[in-house]
Chains A and B, each alone.
Chain A
């Protein structure tokens, strides 16, 4: 089966611009998560979808970040307007049912650089 796909792999944008990251989970996985790693720090949870519904968005940094998952398939994470501190690697992960015990399948991440 295809894995979790993230696009783009790298993005360099100027402060104030908008960027949209995309994640295609494994087909049939209802749970989709976004995580972020800021340089040298831990990977932090951003939000969690079950199908198209946001179940937990407690990790979203502020209202410049908007996540959607139309139709419960792929998800997008938009940053508008981007700030320097938004730079980091954004990971997407998906899982099917028992997320607590099996963990997730992660994508390769999108490296975002805001200059």
Chain B
């Protein structure tokens, strides 16, 4: 069963609009790690953020912010005042502490298209 669900396949916005990407995860472990990666058109996977399950503080980094809610098993990502350079596929991922080898389990990704 898929453990990370990104229900939004594609989101299109006009530049300067805010966009929120949803991520819902499923795990029985009490300790786990959540990640967001960005895949721009050039193809590489770029690390954005890592969160462990004991740290529910929301985080802001420039125009990026993350909302971690253990109660709803969600780790949502918001881009504020989007720019064309934000156009990419964004992946949410999970590592469970019970997986001794630390495999990343990815969601299907959300394609963000920002038009001028």
Contact = CB atoms under 8 A, between A and B. Distances in A.
B45 interface: yes
**Chain A: interface secondary structure?**
strand
6 contacts: A33-B103, A43-B104, A99-B102, A100-B33, A102-B50, A105-B47
Given A42-B106, A42-B107, A56-B101, A108 B50 contact: no
B112 to A, nearest CB: 15
* Count class of interface residues, chain A: 20 to 34
Contact of B47 (A45, A91, A99, A103): A103
* Count class of interface residues, chain B: 20 to 34
Given A9-B43, A111-B43, A106 B37 contact: yes
B104 A45 contact: yes
B4 to A, nearest CB: 7
Interface of A: 9, 31, 33, 35, 37, 40-45, 48, 55-56, 59, 89, 91, 93, 95, 99-109, 111
